[in-house]
Amino acid sequence: MVERAGVLTDRESPLAGVILGAPPDARGRFGPFGGRYVPETLVAALERLEAGARAALADPAFRAALETELHTWAGRPTPLTVAHRLGAAWGATVLLKREDLAHTGAHKINNAVGQALLARRLHARRVVAETGAGQHGVATAAACARLGLPCTVYMGAVDVERQAPNVERMARFGAEVLRVKSGDQTLRAAIDEALRDWVADPDGTYYLIGSVVGPHPYPWLVREFQSVIGREARAQVLADGGRLPDALVACVGGGSNAIGLFHAFLGDAEVELLGIEAGGSGPEPGRHAATLAHGTPGVLHGSHSLLLQDADGQVRETHSISAGLDYPGVGPEHALLHATGRARYATASDDEALDAAAECCELEGILPALESAHALAGARRWAAAHRGGTVLIGLSGRGDKDLATYAAADRERR
């Protein structure tokens, strides 16, 4: 049994635990998902990290330092924008939570600054991170520059090509960017390589993971730092209109911006939670990265969750036009929200995302990241089925990094 705010809840019900905002259980489980599947070399380091993180999050001085950084350096709170012309086009009230306006251009900064402060508190000598679209890499490089921590970022060679502007930004913040040519040369191979780096120096290196994936305590820790998105959005929407939205929509790769947006609303049963995965170029294996739609239970990167894999347990290659969603796994808390039905998950294809991005540019003067464009596409479909409803979209990042991809797609589709 857990007790919070005087309410006793049956701990046997995983949904009850999630709704109460209870951390995962002592073994890092979100219901049947999560856990800590790592080489023995990392067990002691993860135990130290968990103890250090719990102490930091309970320490008012740490919370105050984080709050100050988020407010005076990262630009929080981010605004909630009423998208009048999109709303008129869709026949709905459309609200955008503007994480694209956070420092470095995406929600990733919330977690990067939190974990970098934690790394400094735990006396790390250096920080390593992985990155897909480059947003987490840029955020981590910026936070490490601000705190004076040496930083190494692993990035798949494929992603280095398609997200070149972010590679340049990381280098300017003093980070060492290492191209990963092993495996599939995307986000998943970058995580493999960052884990190998950490295994080589578990005591001096801090692994600053960028999503709600990985071994316990990361899915919990990253959620704690990202849930500021939903807390702000919930207060803003209540202050503006006095009532909660009918639905929240966010894109899901590993799932950090979606968990961050959803978390404060988990107890609001009347608010529908909708995650949008990368539908890529089709439902066949290898043509998408829609783990919750097509995955089966398995263990990857230290955590038991859903996974895109073949019958022999080999992890499949994925495809998405969006580097940030191009990942064969998904955070264990999403797997639980999916299993319990509290959140619903759908897909948006490459083409739908491109169309939604173009529409957002034309009607709102906002260039969304390719990742966020998937959320816009999903929200548009939701609005078509819920005329007159109110939908709040997690606009997780800005699309400057994707200009080359947008331009190439225009040429190809013309």
Catalytic residue numbers, as ranges: 108, 130, 396
Nearer to other proteins, 183 or 389 (CB): 183
The rounded distance, in Å, linking the Cα atoms of 177 and 160 is 9
Percentage helix, strand, coil for the chain under 3-state DSSP, each rounded to 5: 50, 20, 30
* Residue of 10, 11, 43, 67 that binds other proteins (CB under 8 A): 43
Q: How is residue 402 annotated by DSSP?
A: G
Are the C-beta atoms of residues 331 and 256 closer than 8 Å to each other? Answer: yes
Does 244 contact other proteins by CB under 8 A?
A: no
Does 319 contact other proteins by CB under 8 A?
A: no
Rounded to a whole number of angstroms, the minimum distance from the CB of residue 202 to other proteins is 6
Does 195 contact other proteins by CB under 8 A?
A: yes
Does 313 contact other proteins by CB under 8 A?
A: yes
* Residue of 315, 346, 375, 409 that binds other proteins (CB under 8 A): 315
Angle, helices 108-121/40-57, rounded to nearest 10 degrees: 100
Does 404 contact other proteins by CB under 8 A?
A: no
Angle, helices 370-385/350-364, rounded to nearest 10 degrees: 90
> Per CB under 8 A, which region of 39-47, 59-67, 72-80, 401-409 contacts other proteins?
39-47
**Could you write out the DSSP letters of every residue in 75-114?**
-PSPPEEE-HHHHHHHTSEEEEEEGGGSGGGBTHHHHHHH
> Per CB under 8 A, which region of 190-198, 220-228, 262-270, 276-284 contacts other proteins?
190-198
* Residue of 229, 247, 307, 354 that binds other proteins (CB under 8 A): 307
The rounded distance, in Å, linking the Cα atoms of 137 and 14 is 33
Are the C-beta atoms of residues 249 and 391 closer than 8 Å to each other? Answer: yes
Rounded to a whole number of angstroms, the minimum distance from the CB of residue 181 to other proteins is 11
Does 50 contact other proteins by CB under 8 A?
A: no
The residues, ordered by sequence, that sit 6+ positions from 380 with a Cβ below 8 Å of its Cβ are 90, 356, 359
Does 32 contact other proteins by CB under 8 A?
A: no
Does 124 contact other proteins by CB under 8 A?
A: no
Positions in the binding site for other proteins (CB under 8 A): 27, 35-41, 43-45, 182-183, 188, 192, 195-196, 199-203, 297-302, 307, 309, 311-315
